[in-house]
């Protein structure tokens, strides 16, 4: 490291330190590992394979202050109309009970702020925390493990079906000053349980902001999880998200990552299929304009036989925006009879938009079915003409085609109100 | 209602329409025949407003207005309808959503009230019968997975929905079996009226047995080289196009 890099690194880490004083009794070992890893970890740049197309050094040099929570925020614009849910609101990374409401899933799942954990849930937390997101693997995970303070632990109890989705609203308030915040959550879906979790990332205010989020998810034997991320921040808000999913035998997990906003959004989504007959669906769409930059980095680890994974990411980029898809399927030697599919399809709406796509397969078993591919093109002019020839004005016709293209990604979402809302958000994105 | 005079159009620097003149009055049915590659689809596309073509000369008036200045959606609003030779599949756009947007856009353009969901469904069910379209087809994406014949019937269905004053049918008969051909031509005949004109592009005289034209034109190398009554179609069927080609040279 050069001296400048060293200084940038240290001042970046320094910005997170003030909350360390917050006394915490859980996850101490991981926190200590993270703290010592911070002595050497660097801010990733393009020379790192996993960060080949996304450079965070500029972002790390900006001025931020660790923002505090506020209860005086109108959250109405960020709610999903017509959807009954347990609602958890986090402002600048901190859980705000006054804005939240729970109770729709009484007895079926537990929702506990990390600092309130005790008894069996505390033990459950300890045995799962930092087991997937290695605190020493990169500087953002280390910072999160060391200093994040305001997350929740959600446990869907054995054999229980959630009656309503749980909606986690991560709201960044950058109206007074630049905001730096972290989110750290742990979800355990126990054996045979079934739930839908939604994360919305939204922001208010004109100042710049950065949120560093780490989420670990365990999907137990025979359990089903639907997990939807709606990233619709302002063009000044950046998000570094790492989500790790660990699936046990015969479990099913569906993730939807929909990125509409944000200056720079980096999603690392890592799946470990550690059981037979596991099913994983990774779906994603991004719709970008201006100077937006979205990087979806995914890893799917097929560790056991008879697994199925299907990955579909679709990008639409306008103006000078940049999309990145960097996805790897890894089939371990023992993972015979794996079916793994991956596809990335993109539409560039302007000559100045960019897409970098890098699908990768690494296969060490011999009896597998795998495919991957990427396409990039323009909007289908003959379809556009067909719509216009039927009287539909050009702009409306374009929006129809945009929604049709991205809409495929969300077709499978179970909750109708949620699916309708996302569909509308997508359609309105370029209005 | 439609005056085309001395129309010249090129694509990629190649002149396809080379001085085409044609006049269509209200309620008239005109057939255009001609060998492959003579410019029939090009004429249809140029009239509908496809941007790939450069108009280098000539004029087209539709209800007295300059058609070539209008966007495709404006032409549809003004009453022009093209039944495509190759209807496009649009995955992800449902037939119902597409049709409702289309019908209401055109209604809005014409200063009519937007249809309520109920009225729209009623209209759709009524018009669907005209072309004997399978009820399930409107639940799919636009043209996706439709057979060749279903795509063509879907075009006529849309035509019935949009109530145009000029209908251009580009080889709607090709790829149709005898039953489908009968259904399509009966539908077209039902839509005939003193105010509604038709420009029927076809290779075969058999369609014209059902949809009897007032005029038959032969298009060759971008120009209309012969015009006659419905008997001209029979003559072409018997003699082929060679005599036209010789005469044109
Ligand atoms: N978009 C296009 N690009 C290049 N050539 C075209 C295009 N459209 C039509 N042509 C050419 O113009 C000529 C006329 O085509 P077309 O109008 O389709 O004929 P027809 O419908 O009478 O068979 C053909 O030589 C065809 O190859
Ligand atoms: Mg043709």
Strands A109-113, A152-156: pairing is antiparallel
Collect all residues of chain A within an 8 Å Cβ-Cβ radius of residue B84.
Answer: 386, 389
pLDDT at res. A20: 52
Q: Is the pLDDT of residue A149 over 70?
A: yes
Measured between alpha carbons, how far is A388 from A395 in angstroms, rounded to an integer?
Answer: 9
Collect all residues of chain A within an 8 Å Cβ-Cβ radius of residue B103.
Answer: 391
Q: Is the pLDDT of residue A352 over 70?
A: yes
CB-based contact B92 A403, cutoff 8 Å: yes
Q: Of A316, A290, A148, A311, nearest to A233 (Cα)?
A: A290
Q: Where are the alpha helices (DSSP H) in chain B?
A: 40-48, 72-78, 95-109, 117-130, 148-162, 178-191, 205-210, 231-239, 242-248
- Summarised one tens digit per residue, pLDDT across range A217-264 is 999 999 999 999 999 999 999 999 999 999 999 999 999 999 999 999
Q: Three-state DSSP class for A373?
A: strand
User: Is A387 an 8 Å CB contact of chain B?
Assistant: yes
Q: Are A83 and A415 in contact (CB under 8 A)?
A: yes
pLDDT at res. A24: 60
For A386, name the nearest residue in chain B, comparing CA atoms only: B88
CB-based contact A389 B106, cutoff 8 Å: no
Measured between alpha carbons, how far is A174 from A92 in angstroms, rounded to an integer?
Answer: 9
Collect all residues of chain B within an 8 Å Cβ-Cβ radius of residue A403.
Answer: 92
pLDDT at res. A21: 42
Q: What residues have CB less than 8 Å from B192, skipping those under 6 apart?
A: B27, B29, B198
Interface of B with A in 100-139 (CB under 8 A): 101-103, 105-106, 109
pLDDT at res. B215: 96
User: Is A377 an 8 Å CB contact of chain B?
Assistant: no
Q: Of A154, A80, A49, A53, nearest to A423 (Cα)?
A: A80
Residue listed under structure tokens 């989110």: A183
Measured between alpha carbons, how far is A152 from A183 in angstroms, rounded to an integer?
Answer: 9
Q: Is the pLDDT of residue A41 over 90?
A: yes
Q: Taking the model in full, what pTM does it have?
A: 0.88
Name the minimum distance, in Å, from the CA of B225 to any CA of chain A.
Answer: 29
Q: Which two tokens stand for residue A298?
A: 């995914």
User: Is B79 an 8 Å CB contact of chain A?
Assistant: no
Collect all residues of chain A within an 8 Å Cβ-Cβ radius of residue B82.
Answer: 389
Q: Which pLDDT tens digits describe chain B residue by residue (249 residues)?
A: 999 999 999 999 999 999 999 999 999 999 999 989 999 999 999 999 999 999 999 999 999 999 999 999 999 999 999 999 999 999 999 999 999 999 999 999 999 999 999 999 999 999 998 888 888 888 899 999 999 989 999 999 999 999 999 999 999 988 888 888 998 899 999 999 999 999 999 988 888 989 999 999 999 999 999 999 988 988 888 888 888 777 654
Ligand 2 centroid–CA B86 distance in Å is 9
Sheet holding A166-173, edge to edge: A94-95, A86-91, A166-173, A194-204, A224-231, A252-259, A279-288, A308-317, A339-348, A369-377
Q: How far apart are the first and last CA of chain B?
A: 32
Q: Of A293, A303, A298, A286, nearest to A365 (Cα)?
A: A303
Measured between alpha carbons, how far is A358 from A173 in angstroms, rounded to an integer?
Answer: 34
Read off the pLDDT band of A22 (50, 70, 90).
very low
CB-based contact A388 B76, cutoff 8 Å: yes
Measured between alpha carbons, how far is A316 from A374 in angstroms, rounded to an integer?
Answer: 13
Number of Cβ pairs < 8 A linking chain A and chain B = 78
Q: Three-state DSSP class for A331?
A: strand
β-sheet bridge partners, residue B32 = B201, B217
Cβ-based neighbour number of residue B22 at 10 Å: 19
**Residue A407, φ and ψ in degrees, nearest 5:** -60, -30
Cβ-based neighbour number of residue A279 at 10 Å: 18
> Which DSSP helix (H) or strand (E) runs through A270?
strand A264-273
- Of A130-139, A152-161, A198-207, B178-187, least confident by mean pLDDT is B178-187
Q: Is the pLDDT of residue A412 over 80?
A: yes
Q: Of A274, A289, A335, A324, nearest to A428 (Cα)?
A: A289
Interface of A with B in 388-407 (CB under 8 A): 388-394, 396-397, 400-401, 403-405, 407
CB-based contact B106 A401, cutoff 8 Å: no
Q: Which has more confidence, A310 or B132?
A: A310
- Summarised one tens digit per residue, pLDDT across range A180-190 is 999 999 999 99
CB-based contact A408 B91, cutoff 8 Å: yes
A377 secondary structure, DSSP code: E
Which numbered ligand comes closest to the C-alpha of B9? 1
* Interface test mutation site (partner A, options B93, B100, B159, B160, max chain A beta carbons within 10 A): B93
Cβ-based neighbour number of residue A24 at 10 Å: 15
Q: Of A345, A341, A336, nearest to A408 (Cα)?
A: A345
> pLDDT over 90 for what percent of chain A?
82
Residue listed under structure tokens 């995955």: B91
pLDDT at res. A139: 94
Q: Are A222 and A253 in contact (CB under 8 A)?
A: no
Collect all residues of chain B within an 8 Å Cβ-Cβ radius of residue A385.
Answer: 48-51, 72, 88
**Residue A396, φ and ψ in degrees, nearest 5:** -65, -40
| Reported ipTM | 0.96
Cα distances (angstroms) measured from residue A216 to each of A64, A241, A393: 26, 11, 46
Read off the pLDDT band of A158 (50, 70, 90).
very high
């Amino acid at each position: 490291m050069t001296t400048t890099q060293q200084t940038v690194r240290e001042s970046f880490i320094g910005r997170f330190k003030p909350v360390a004083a917050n006394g915490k009794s859980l996850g101490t070992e991981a926190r200590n590992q993270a703290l010592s890893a911070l002595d050497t970890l660097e801010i990733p740049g393009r020379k790192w394979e996993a960060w080949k197309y996304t450079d965070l050094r500029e972002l790390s040099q900006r001025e931020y202050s660790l923002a505090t929570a506020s209860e005086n925020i109108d959250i109405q614009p960020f709610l999903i109309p017509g959807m009954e849910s347990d609602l958890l609101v986090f402002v600048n990374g901190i859980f705000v009970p006054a804005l939240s409401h729970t109770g729709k899933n009484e007895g079926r799942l537990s929702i506990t702020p990390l600092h309130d954990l005790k008894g069996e849930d505390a033990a459950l937390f300890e045995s799962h925390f930092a087991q997937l997101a290695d605190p020493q693997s990169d500087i953002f995970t280390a910072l999160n493990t060391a200093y994040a303070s305001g997350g929740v632990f959600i446990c869907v109890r054995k054999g229980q079906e959630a009656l309503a989705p749980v909606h986690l609203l991560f709201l960044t308030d950058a109206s007074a000053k630049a905001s730096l915040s972290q989110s750290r959550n742990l979800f355990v879906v126990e054996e045979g349980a079934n739930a839908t979790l939604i994360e919305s990332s939204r922001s208010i205010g004109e100042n710049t902001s950065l949120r560093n989020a780490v989420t670990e998810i365990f999907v137990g034997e025979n359990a089903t999880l639907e997990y939807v991320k709606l990233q619709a921040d302002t063009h000044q808000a950046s998000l570094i998200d790492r989500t790790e999913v660990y699936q046990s035998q015969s479990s099913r997990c569906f993730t939807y990552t929909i990125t509409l906003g944000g200056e720079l959004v980096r999603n690392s989504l890592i799946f470990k299929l550690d059981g037979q007959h596991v099913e994983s669906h990774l779906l994603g769409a991004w719709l970008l304009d201006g100077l937006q930059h979205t990087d979806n980095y995914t890893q799917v680890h097929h560790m056991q036989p008879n697994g199925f994974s299907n990955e579909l990411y679709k990008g639409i980029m306008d103006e000078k925006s940049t999309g990145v898809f960097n996805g790897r399927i890894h089939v371990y030697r023992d993972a015979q009879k794996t079916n793994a599919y991956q596809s990335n399809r993109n539409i560039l709406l302007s000559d100045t938009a960019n897409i970098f796509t890098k699908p990768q397969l690494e296969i060490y078993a011999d009896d597998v079915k795998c495919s991957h591919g990427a396409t990039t093109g323009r909007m289908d002019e003959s379809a556009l003409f067909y719509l216009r020839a039927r009287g539909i004005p050009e702009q409306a016709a374009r929006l129809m085609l945009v929604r049709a293209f991205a809409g495929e990604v969300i077709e499978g979402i179970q909750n109708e109100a949620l699916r309708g809302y996302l569909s509308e958000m997508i359609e309105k994105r370029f209005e | 209602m439609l005056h085309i005079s001395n129309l010249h159009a090129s694509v990629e620097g190649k002149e396809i329409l080379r001085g085409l003149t044609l006049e269509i009055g209200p309620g008239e049915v005109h057939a255009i025949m001609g060998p492959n590659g003579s410019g029939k689809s090009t004429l249809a596309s140029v009239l509908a407003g496809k941007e790939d073509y450069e108009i280098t000369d000539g004029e087209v008036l539709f209800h007295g207005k300059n058609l070539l200045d209008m966007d495709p959606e404006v032409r549809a609003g003004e009453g022009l309808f093209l039944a495509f030779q190759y209807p496009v599949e649009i995955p992800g756009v449902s037939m119902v959503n597409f049709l409702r947007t289309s019908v209401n856009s055109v209604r809005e353009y014409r200063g009519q009230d937007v249809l309520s969901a109920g009225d729209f469904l009623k209209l759709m069910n009524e018009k669907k019968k005209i072309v004997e379209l399978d009820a399930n087809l409107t639940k799919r994406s636009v043209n996706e997975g439709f057979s060749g014949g279903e795509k063509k019937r879907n075009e006529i269905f849309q035509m019935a929905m949009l109530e145009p004053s000029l209908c251009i049918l580009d080889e709607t008969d090709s790829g149709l079996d005898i039953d489908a051909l009968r259904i399509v031509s009966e539908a077209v005949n039902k839509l005939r009226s003193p105010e509604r004109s038709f420009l029927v592009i076809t290779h075969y005289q058999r369609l014209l047995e059902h949809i009897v034209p007032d005029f038959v034109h032969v298009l060759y190398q971008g120009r209309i080289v012969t015009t006659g009554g419905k008997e001209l179609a029979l003559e072409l069927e018997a003699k082929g196009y060679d005599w036209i080609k010789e005469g044109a040279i």
